[in-house]
Amino acid sequence: MSINTKKYIESYIKIRDKEGNIIPLKFNEPQLKYYNVIKSLHEQHKPIRIIILKARQMGFSTETESIIFKNVVTNHNYNAGIVAHKEDSTTNLFNMSKRMLEYLPETIKPEQKKSNAKELVFNNQSGSGLDSKIKCMTAGGKGIGRSDTFTALHLSELAFWEGNKQNILLGLLQAVPNIPNSMIVIESTANGFDYFKELWDKAVAGENDFYPLFVGWNELEEYKMSYSGFELTKEEKELQDLYNVSLDQLEWRRWCIKNNCGGDIDKFKQEYPITPEEAFLSTGKCYFNKKNIISRINKVEEPKIKGSFACYYDGLRIRGRKFNEDDKGSIKIYKYPENYVPYVIGGDTAGEGSDYFTAHVINNITGEEVAVLKQQYDEIEYVKQIYCLGMFYNKALIGLETNFSTYPIQKLVELNYPNLYVRKKEDTYVSKHEKSFGFKTTSITRPLILANLQEIVKDEIDVINDKDTLREMLTFIVNKNGRAEAEQSYHDDLVMGLAITYYIRTQQEMKKSKIQYEQMNDFFDKEFGQDDEYIEDDFGSSIEVF
């Protein structure tokens, strides 16, 4: 894409507007935001890979077609593929390209060959023309794209493709070389938790090379109507505070909910989201309060530091406990430990149906989540990180799930970790203590810990600080059999870890205790001797680990 693409489009490309008039294409606010992303990637000499989560009628399909059209008719050997979710949408996109060609000035219109398919082929009979083309296809067609090589691909409304989206996409993506001038744009409105959401989540997490572009309905200037003077609801006031939504925009929002969405506010949020979380409403019944979760996601701050502990096991104890800052580290710290404050760590270990080892740290006076650990597969490393994390947070009470592996708890016992959760018989009225460490998730305890977390999400969600955990809650549903679980293809490792953490907290003090704090330090010093270490915080000051 040359730096004159925007000028070319706004000078020569004609489109049909919502009233049926043929007009020049002038970029609106969302389109300009999208264009600047493409321009930035182009100027960095990167392959252009963008995934767009959109509200309706933003104009992204039109803009993508215009950019592709400009590139095809101004370059040699530039082949573009356009894939829509159904046949009539394919026809509409093809007709859009034909209209752009029809109204192109004759002086810059390239030679064209006839084609019986939904193709625009630019060449002459002698084969000395551009030899470029636009090919429009419908998702679900057998083997689409597998015999082609494209410089650009526009994949429209991926969330609504029929058939196996992943397999269809696999064939198409191989058709585009990974070179700087190539372009792949995936754009769609949301359709629940599907493969499009999986791609979006990976883009947001940096697990693929697609740039995640979201534009909320509030960013399109035309979505407003004259304010009629109604009294604002609590939710509307929050929209003003969080997103600076105007009264005229709220007037349009009310009109759209009433007239375009049948009075269903959840349908409005799916079709016209203001955040990505609003767009991806669960297809099943969410176990937790979705409104509270989405509101909290929009308010929480990023962690103060990410990283992991560098340490080693010498056969007796874990030594060299130093926290190293690393954006890819397994631990996120939201608040540093305070002297004499009791902390609790609960964790979910990887096992059947679970890929991750997780743990949460809460301040047991306030209940606030202050740190989160999430890592994949390695039990030995998990034990090291949990041990160091517990020592860092004032020798926190640790209770790890023991259903599929007892190794982490057994190792913590061997290391004489001084504050382990003692399992109780939950099927009696006596709360009898067994001499067993760790938490056992059973048909009796599982509903209890989840119900407890459900209440916290309903009444005290401000204590939860981790976005990944909150997002995982959005995919935690009640299935058709009434069981609360992660929706198919999603995880609940963080949810279950947090549920365990809040449930076991009654075995730890819920007030500052200088005496207990010093007694525990004395016990540990007698057992192992002193071994204080330090980490650096964001401001360069030293914080004692233990």
Kindly report the number of other CB atoms within 10 A of residue 124's CB atom: 13
pLDDT at 545: 37
User: What gap in Å lies between CA 400 and CA 385, rounded to an integer?
Assistant: 13
User: What gap in Å lies between CA 163 and CA 142, rounded to an integer?
Assistant: 11
- State pTM to two decimals: 0.71
pLDDT at 533: 42
Query: Is 24 in a helix, a strand, or coil?
Result: strand
pLDDT at 526: 52
pLDDT at 426: 52
User: What gap in Å lies between CA 29 and CA 260, rounded to an integer?
Assistant: 23
User: What gap in Å lies between CA 226 and CA 269, rounded to an integer?
Assistant: 21
- Structure token pair of residue 441: 């998730």
| pLDDT beneath 70: ranges in the chain | 1-3, 127-128, 141-143, 145-146, 282-284, 352-354, 377, 424-435, 515-546
Judge contact between 215 and 190, C-beta under 8 A.
no
Instruction: Write the pLDDT tens digit of every residue in 262-305.
Output: 999 888 988 899 988 888 875 668 899 988 998 898 889 999 99
pLDDT at 539: 28
pLDDT at 420: 94
Which DSSP string corresponds to 104-143? S-GGGPPP-B--SSSEEEE--TTS-S--EEEEEEETTSTT
Give the gyration radius of the chain's Cα atoms: 28
Residues facing 399 on adjacent strands: 346
The residue written with tokens 């517990």 in the block is 390
- Structure token pair of residue 431: 């709360």
pLDDT at 258: 96
**What is the average pLDDT value for the chain, to the nearest integer?**
87
Judge contact between 510 and 365, C-beta under 8 A.
yes
Instruction: Write the pLDDT tens digit of every residue in 196-255.
Output: 988 998 999 888 999 999 999 999 999 999 999 999 999 999 999 989 999 999 999 999
Pairing of strands 433-437, 211-215: unpaired
At residue 28, φ and ψ (nearest 5 deg) are -85, -175
Judge contact between 516 and 509, C-beta under 8 A.
yes
Helices 493-504 and 467-474 sit at what angle, rounded to 10 degrees?
110
Q: Please report the domains of the chain, with CATH numbers, ordered by start residue.
A: 5-215 (3.40.50.300), 218-281 (no CATH), 305-544 (3.30.420.240)
The letter for the amino acid at 435 is K
pLDDT at 200: 93
Q: How many CA atoms lie within 13 A of 27 on its CB side?
A: 20
Judge contact between 372 and 468, C-beta under 8 A.
yes
- Structure token pair of residue 273: 């989201």
Q: Distances in Å between the alpha carbon of 275 and those of 55, 218, 284, 407, 498?
A: 10, 10, 20, 41, 24
The 3 state secondary structure assigned to 306-340 is EEEEEEEECCCCEEEEEEEECCCCCEEECCCCCCC
- Structure token pair of residue 216: 């909320």
User: What gap in Å lies between CA 158 and CA 187, rounded to an integer?
Assistant: 7
pLDDT at 423: 80
pLDDT at 316: 77
Pick from 400, 388, 362: nearest CA to 496: 400
Judge contact between 445 and 500, C-beta under 8 A.
no
